[in-house]
Chains A and B, each alone.
Chain A
Amino acid sequence: MYKFEKSFYSKTSMYSFVVVLLLFFSMWYSTSKFVHIDMALLGYAISSTVFAIGLTIRMSFWMWRKATNRVAKRSVDNLFNKERLKRNSKAVVKTLIDNIILQKFIFQRGIYRGIQHFMISWGCIISFAITFGLTFGWMRFDLIDPETYQIIVFDFPTITMAAHGIFAEIVYNGLNIGAIMVLIGAGMALYRRITDYDVKVTQRFEFDILPLIILLAVTVTGLILTIQYTFLGGWMHHYMSLIHQVTVIIMLMYFPFGKLFHVPIRPLATAVPMSYQEVVKVDTKSCKSCGQPYSNDDQIADVQAILKSQNFDLQLADGSYLSDYCTGCRRRMRALKQMNLEAPQGNPYGPVNTNNGIHISGFSKKRSEEFYGLDQDSKEEKIDEPVSR
């Protein structure tokens, strides 16, 4: 394996090579050795391959980040841990449905935003599934008799359907349905981004607006194509299909590098309840100072390991780490340190004397002796001495 890796320029190029190889073989297999390949979609096939390479490279770099790597590793370990199998599978399936499929949390951010994103994401997923399926030949339609079509998936005959049945219409129009969903969603998003002052605070054109424009360009040109061959008898169809192809290629090239890259990142969210929140909203690790539970042992271990691997020195004099304290205590520790109010003797993070002797409220008050950390015997000596202050 090591030798194999060495024959590549880098690990990412090795992964990309494997991905391209897999795509090629899946294509070769599902089109029964390229017999059933759809040559009209060749442009899409090539750009989809480049898209896959881009995605592989970006995913690899993302996975190499110390934080991502650690969290992903723990998630995989937990997932295949036999003892936790039952609870884990339940947690993963539940988050998958709530968080990824239904996207409940976006609806919590607002009904408008929920509908908007539901339309964009599911419209895109439907369209992507159909486009990739057809371009790589994973799915095709065979006419087995003049009235019946059969859907062939990976060169394996599956369901048959009447050529003009309702189901067939839905299947043929899958791309149009997807496109209309994206059109509604992306239109809503663009409207919100133009009119809402709150989103403008951190909005950037190239990051937030551009993906919406690209998505709209793809859907609009795609829908015009449908209109042209259903209502206009294919008028200007050829030119439009070229324009549509260009927009799709731009989108595929853009996908791994811009905002749309959140799509491959999101699945990691399914691992969060499994690894970090054993019971939702119930914490098990308690703060070293106040004793209140604030997190989970595994999570704090991960955070400390990630910080350590990136040379963050957040260890205190007594060997504990800042992340061993709850957030409230951490804020207090910072303020105490800053005001020079830490308890001068014993545990510096214990109860404090708020009169630090440096900034005394009002005039003619004595500084507390304790503050200077004078030890006991020197104080005792002083008792007999004449005091001149």
Chain B
Amino acid sequence: MNKIMYLEFERCIGCRACQAACRECGDHDAKERNYVEYVDFTESRQTFPMLCMQCKDPACARVCPANAIQITDEGVVLSAMEEKCIGCRNCTFGCPFGIPKFDFEKNKMYKCDMCYDRTRHDIAPMCASVCPSDAIRFIDFDEMQQLRRKRTQMNLVEGKKPQEGNKWDYVPEFFGVYTDQS
């Protein structure tokens, strides 16, 4: 399995379908775990979707005093284990991207798990499967590479040339790379 979550923030139209879909996912307890936010409300209505990066070496798990955040074989960083999470919220503040959410009543952290029961079987996560503008996509590694190349070319046509130091500014990010290459 070698599928990739591919985000293009600019494509987001702010419909929040991904959040509605997230609430419906198994084990999500009718609460969304992703974000759709304004870049700068005073400037424009541009929104962007935000999900967990599924880090290889997750800061959230490293700052958890209860050791409650586990990483699956596929590389998905799961929500806190229900019996271990002591509710300190260190993960929320440790995560560089501000992803983990916290439920004060149930005293536990919950975060994007890439719809583990779906992606485990190569099915697109809820958010990617409903996004009408393809801001969130669940695609093959090759397709992702192609998209990135096209995007760089587009930038060249636009007249801005990426330099060695800033070429990453010109490609959208990808994440959740499944390590299994087979």
Contacts and interface: CB of A to CB of B under 8 A. Distances in A.
A307 B9 contact: no
Contacts of B172: 338
Contacts of A335: 9, 37, 39, 48, 50
A109 interface: yes
Contacts of B82: 109
Contacts of A312: 59, 62
B87 to A, nearest CB: 6
Interface string A259-303: 100100110110010001000010000000000000100011011
Interface residues of A, number: 62
Interface stretch (A4-12, A66-74, A163-171): A66-74
Contacts of A67: 62-65, 67, 90
- The residue in B42, B104, B107 that gathers the most chain A C-beta atoms within 10 A of its C-beta is B107
A41 to B, nearest CB: 30
A62 B81 CA distance: 16
Contacts of A281: 104
Contacts of A360: 158
Interface stretch (A24-32, A46-54, A242-250, A326-334): A326-334
Contact of A198 (B29, B37, B92, B97): B29
A352 B108 CA distance: 35
Contacts of A332: 37, 39-40
B26 A359 contact: no
A353 interface: yes
B63 A306 contact: yes
A210 interface: no
Interface stretch (A139-147, A199-207, A374-382): A199-207
A126 to B, nearest CB: 19
A108 B106 CA distance: 5
B88 A71 contact: yes
A353 to B, nearest CB: 7
A339 interface: yes
Contacts of A359: 10, 154, 158
A209 B78 CA distance: 19
A201 B94 contact: no
Interface string B110-137: 0001001100000000000000000000
Nearest to B79: A202
Interface string B80-103: 011110111110111111110000
10 contacts: A65-B65, A68-B65, A108-B106, A108-B107, A265-B86, A268-B86, A303-B93, A307-B94, A331-B37, A359-B158
